[in-house]
Amino acid sequence: MKMLVFGHGYSAGFLTPLLRARGWQVLGTTRRDPGRVAAAGAAPIPWPGAESRLRSEIATADAVLVSVAPGPLGDPVLAAFRDDLARARPRWLGYLSTTGVYGDRDGDWVDEDSSLDAAGPRGQARIRAEADWRALADQAGLPLHIFRLAGIYGPGRGPFEKIRNGTARRIVKPGQVFSRIHAEDIAQVLLASIDRPAPGTAYNVCDDDPAPPQDVLAHAADLLGLPPPPEVAFEDAQMTPMARSFYADSKRVSNRRIKRDLGVELRYPDHRSGLAAILAAEAASGGASPHGLRPAPVQDPRHD
**What confidence score (pLDDT) does residue 291 get?**
41
* Cα gap 213→217, rounded to integer Å: 7
**What confidence score (pLDDT) does residue 301 get?**
42
**What confidence score (pLDDT) does residue 54 get?**
98
Cβ atoms 38, 99 nearer than 8 A: no
Phi, psi at 71, each rounded to 5°: -105, -170
| 21: Cβ contacts below 8 Å, ≥ 6 apart | none
Q: pLDDT tens for residues 125-150?
A: 999 999 999 999 999 999 999 999 99
| 138: Cβ contacts below 8 Å, ≥ 6 apart | none
**What confidence score (pLDDT) does residue 246 get?**
87
Q: pLDDT tens for residues 151-195?
A: 999 998 989 999 999 999 999 999 999 999 999 999 999 999 999
**What confidence score (pLDDT) does residue 245 get?**
87
* Cα gap 96→43, rounded to integer Å: 20
Q: Which stretches of 141-290 are DSSP H helices?
A: 160-164, 183-195, 213-224, 241-246, 256-262, 271-284
**What confidence score (pLDDT) does residue 287 get?**
57
**What confidence score (pLDDT) does residue 289 get?**
44
Instruction: Look at residues 93, 69, 268 and name the one whose alpha carbon lies nearest to residue 180.
Output: 268
* Cα gap 37→266, rounded to integer Å: 25
Low-confidence ranges of the chain (pLDDT < 50): 288-304
> Full-prediction pTM beyond 0.95?
no
Cβ atoms 43, 24 nearer than 8 A: no
Q: What is the DSSP letter of 166?
A: T
Kind plus residue range of the DSSP H or E element containing 46: strand 43-46
Instruction: Look at residues 44, 67, 201, 230 and name the one whose alpha carbon lies nearest to residue 134.
Output: 201
Kind plus residue range of the DSSP H or E element containing 191: helix 183-195
**What confidence score (pLDDT) does residue 292 get?**
37
